[in-house]
Amino acid sequence: MQIGLIGTGLMGAPMAQRLIELGHAVTVFNRTVAKLEPLQAAGATLADSPLQVLQTTDVIVLMLTNADAIQQSLLTPATIPALNGRTIVQMGTIAPNESKAIHAQVQSAGGTYLEAPVLGSIPEAKAGSLLIMVGAAPPAFEQAFPLLTALGPEPLLVGPVGTAAALKLALNQLIGGLTTTFATSLSFCQAYGVEVETFMQILRNSALYAPTFDKKLTRMLDQNFENPNFPTKHLLKDMTLFQQAAQSEKLPTENIEAIQNIIQRAMARFADADYSSIYSAIKE
């Protein structure tokens, strides 16, 4: 199987590295060529354009920032004819309606499309332990299964295209909600003189505890948000996608809007830093 990967950012690069280590032939493209140098050294073939990736590979993994980036890379007049006979595995976080629209375009061009967003970050991508949610027709899922299991041990077929995209947004909304409420409680305890370890001791022994709290605690206390696994700007993007999709289903989103406002304040200084920077916005 000839595998292409378009988008070698924070997640795409370790995913490509993982596939190379397992012995797959991988062709990569990224608009920032410097990001491709470590992958080339590891054995990847570099492509000059998305079109070259489509022309030289059978299955193309997309790990791009948003739906607009997918349109510009994959669905141009030059690239659409090359989709015929290709399988597109879209692994970024986009809205359900966006995924359905891309699916329709790929299918019209004679290609196969499945969405396979992931839960996990750089360490899980390197280890091949990502949680992979798949929205696809069963035959497409079966076809892509060997590739997916290289990146996550138990890919889950959620339903048709759109369902996995919705599940991914639901989970990322929890990331924003949990982090914001934890940072608020932490700041509240500090303001009233409660020792942080006392707060954490009670929290860890309760049903309220989530492991992400300890993962982010040191970053928050040290105000060290460098070397992110998930940047603040990407969390805001996903919260906005969730809000828009929820509103289309007439679900209440007042709580989401409040969290968006806090993340927006963190963005002023920490857009490219780790999303635990939400704490800084609350402290200020």
Residue 1 has pLDDT above 90, yes or no: no
Read off the CATH number of the domain in which 206 is found.
Answer: 1.10.1040.10
Residue 141 has pLDDT above 90, yes or no: yes
Mean pLDDT, residues 220-233: 96
Interatomic CA distance for residues 256 and 237, integer angstroms: 12
pLDDT digits over 26-76, tens only?
Answer: 999 998 888 899 999 999 999 999 999 999 999 999 999 999 999 999 999
Question: Quick one: 101 and 87 in the same domain?
Answer: yes
Domain end marker among 100, 126, 160? 160
Domain tally, the chain: 2
pLDDT digits over 77-132, tens only?
Answer: 999 999 999 999 999 999 999 999 999 999 999 999 999 999 999 999 999 999 99
Residue 17 has pLDDT above 90, yes or no: yes
Distant-in-sequence, close-in-space partners of 29: CB < 8 Å, separation ≥ 6:
4, 5, 6, 7, 8, 36, 46, 47, 48, 49, 50, 52, 53, 73
Question: Quick one: 174 and 154 in the same domain?
Answer: no
Confidence of residue 284 (pLDDT cuts 50, 70, 90): confident
* Residue 17 lies in domain: 2-160
Domain end marker among 128, 160, 192? 160
Question: Quick one: 190 and 227 in the same domain?
Answer: yes
Q: How far is CA 69 from CA 51, 86, 210, 240, in A?
A: 14, 19, 33, 17
Q: How far is CA 207 from CA 182, 203, 210, in A?
A: 14, 8, 8
Question: Quick one: 83 and 195 in the same domain?
Answer: no
Domain end marker among 126, 160, 194? 160
